């Protein structure tokens, strides 16, 4: 059996160890809690600075051009269809595709054999009519001499009244025959001229200086001009001067007027820019697939003959320009800050007219503006407090959209 003092010492030692364990436990818990609090303080997200929530761009100053972009087609300024006025077989075709021609140059001939015979026949008929007219004049002279003789005898009582009347009738009848012969001569003369004209029309000539765009006939082919003149050749006048017909949408036609300049490209030369200017805006509407367009006629120089009739052109017409304008990105005019940051100004911005927003301190500030012409990327603006270089808001950054809970949405 242990002495009493050893038992007391053992109890005392165990009590000390128990107190130490409690102290270590509570100290550990205090340290753990302090670590958690420190981690929370260190790792919690810090507020995103305003300049990191918004995207911005500076106002700039310089020229700005408003353009519209219709599609058009190239054509010769003057195009003439050359046809045949008479029927017959083609005996000669003297030009081909792309042949240059001069005014009056012979393009083709129709076999003139039958028409030459008609000219000869008409000439013979005219000679016969002229002979009949001479005969009628001789008969008149003879009738007038007989009338004069009978009138002298009747005055002496040696001739009857009946013979006198017959002589007078013979004179009048001779005059009528002369008139009829003259009319017949005129008729035959007209017939001869018509036959000669038909003969001349067997030679088909160019009415203009130009080039042959198309030829639709060959030697030996018979053309029939009974109802309408068949088209044998299509001529274009001087392809060094062409025209461009641009189809302008009805929503944009109010911006287009004669004298405006334009540029265009064609698929054949995609890297080359051609120049033109508007000479006419036609009022006739053209309806295609329920879309109304109007034709603007542009004059084009083609000195190298690169452009050809029928080419499709992508046109840009300069409808307005400013040489020294204060320019804002179009995105800035569309931007409105979130309501929670823009406040009442953001709520009423859509109904208060166009405006730009800048970041002043932690909050956006609204600047009302008057907008001018736009080139589709920049717009001319005027307003109090605006100056070149002023940073205007154009949208939210990805972090800004997350900050305002607009992930997947717009943000202005």
Single out the residue of 178, 13, 208, 5 nearest to residue 101, CA to CA. Answer: 208
Instruction: Look up the domain containing 216 and give its range.
Output: 79-111+209-237
Inside any domain, residue 12: no
Is pLDDT of 270 > 60? yes
Inside any domain, residue 297: yes
Number of domains, the chain: 4
Is pLDDT of 188 > 70? yes
Could you give the angle at the alpha carbon of 103 between the alpha carbons of 99 and 104, nearest 5°?
Answer: 105
DSSP secondary-structure letter at 209? S
The reply to whether 174 and 155 lie within a common domain is yes
Tokens for 403? 């900050």
Is pLDDT of 50 > 70? yes
- Classify residue 16 as exposed, middle or buried by CB count within 10 Å of its CB (0-12, 13-18, 19+): exposed
Across the range 347-360, mean pLDDT stands at 76
Residues 115/198, Cβ–Cβ less than 8 Å: yes
Tell which wins on pLDDT, 342 or 87. Answer: 87
The reply to whether 118 and 196 lie within a common domain is yes
Tokens for 122? 């008409």
Taking the CA atoms of residue 255, residue 260, residue 266 and residue 271 in that order, the dihedral angle to the nearest 10 degrees is: -110
The reply to whether 213 and 105 lie within a common domain is yes
Output the CA–CA distances (angstroms, integers) from residue 203 to 116, 193, 221, 234, 375, in the order listed. 13, 16, 15, 17, 57
Taking the CA atoms of residue 375, residue 379, residue 382 and residue 388 in that order, the dihedral angle to the nearest 10 degrees is: -110
Single out the residue of 12, 11, 14, 10 nearest to residue 22, CA to CA. Answer: 14
Is pLDDT of 296 > 80? yes
The reply to whether 306 and 231 lie within a common domain is no
In DSSP terms, which residues pair with 58 in a beta bridge? 391
Average pLDDT across the chain, whole number:
86
The reply to whether 300 and 344 lie within a common domain is no
pLDDT of residue 410: 43
Residues 256/281, Cβ–Cβ less than 8 Å: yes
Across the range 321-342, mean pLDDT stands at 86
pLDDT of residue 230: 80
Half-sphere CA count of 111, side-chain side, radius 13 A: 12
> Among 218, 237, 256, where does a domain finish?
237
Is pLDDT of 307 > 90? yes
CATH of the domain at 364: 2.40.420
Is pLDDT of 255 > 90? yes
The reply to whether 91 and 231 lie within a common domain is yes
CATH of the domain at 214: 2.40.50.100
């Amino acid at each position: 059996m242990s002495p009493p003092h050893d038992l007391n010492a053992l109890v005392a030692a165990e009590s000390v160890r128990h107190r130490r364990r409690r102290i270590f436990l509570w100290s550990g818990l205090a340290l753990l809690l302090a670590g958690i609090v420190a981690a929370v303080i260190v790792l919690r997200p810090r507020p995103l600075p305003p300049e990191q929530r918004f995207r911005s761009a500076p106002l700039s100053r310089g020229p700005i051009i408003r353009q519209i972009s219709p599609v058009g087609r190239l054509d010769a300024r003057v195009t003439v269809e050359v046809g045949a006025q008479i029927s017959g077989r083609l005996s000669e075709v003297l030009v081909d595709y792309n042949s240059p021609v001069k005014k009056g140059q012979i393009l083709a001939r129709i076999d003139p054999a039958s028409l030459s015979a008609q000219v000869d026949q008409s000439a013979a008929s005219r000679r016969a009519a002229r002979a009949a007219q001479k005969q009628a004049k001789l008969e008149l002279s003879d009738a007038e001499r007989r009338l004069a003789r009978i009138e002298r005898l009747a005055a002496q009582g040696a001739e009857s009244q009946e013979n006198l009347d017959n002589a007078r009738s013979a004179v009048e009848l001779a005059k009528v025959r002369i008139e009829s012969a003259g009319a017949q001569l005129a008729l035959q003369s007209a017939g001869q001229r018509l036959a000669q004209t038909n003969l001349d029309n067997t030679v088909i000539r160019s009415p203009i200086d130009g080039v042959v765009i198309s030829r639709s006939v060959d030697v030996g082919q018979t053309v029939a001009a009974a109802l309408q003149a068949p088209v044998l050749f299509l001529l274009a006048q001087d392809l060094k001067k062409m025209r461009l017909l641009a189809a302008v949408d009805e929503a944009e036609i109010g911006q287009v007027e004669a004298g405006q300049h334009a540029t265009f490209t064609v698929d054949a030369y995609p890297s080359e820019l051609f120049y033109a200017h508007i000479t006419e805006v036609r009022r006739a509407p053209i309806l295609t697939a329920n879309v109304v367009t109007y034709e603007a006629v542009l004059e084009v120089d083609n000195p190298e003959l690169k452009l050809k009739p029928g080419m499709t052109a992508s046109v840009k017409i300069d409808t307005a320009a400013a040489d020294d304008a204060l320019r804002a990105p179009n995105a800035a005019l569309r931007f409105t800050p979130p309501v929670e940051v823009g406040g009442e100004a953001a709520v009423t911005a859509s109904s208060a007219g166009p405006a730009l927003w800048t970041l002043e301190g932690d909050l956006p500030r609204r600047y009302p503006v008057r907008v001018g012409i736009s080139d589709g990327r920049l717009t001319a603006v005027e307003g109090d407090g605006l100056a070149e270089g002023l940073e205007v808001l154009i949208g939210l950054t990805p972090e800004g959209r997350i900050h305002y809970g607009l992930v997947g949405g717009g943000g202005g």
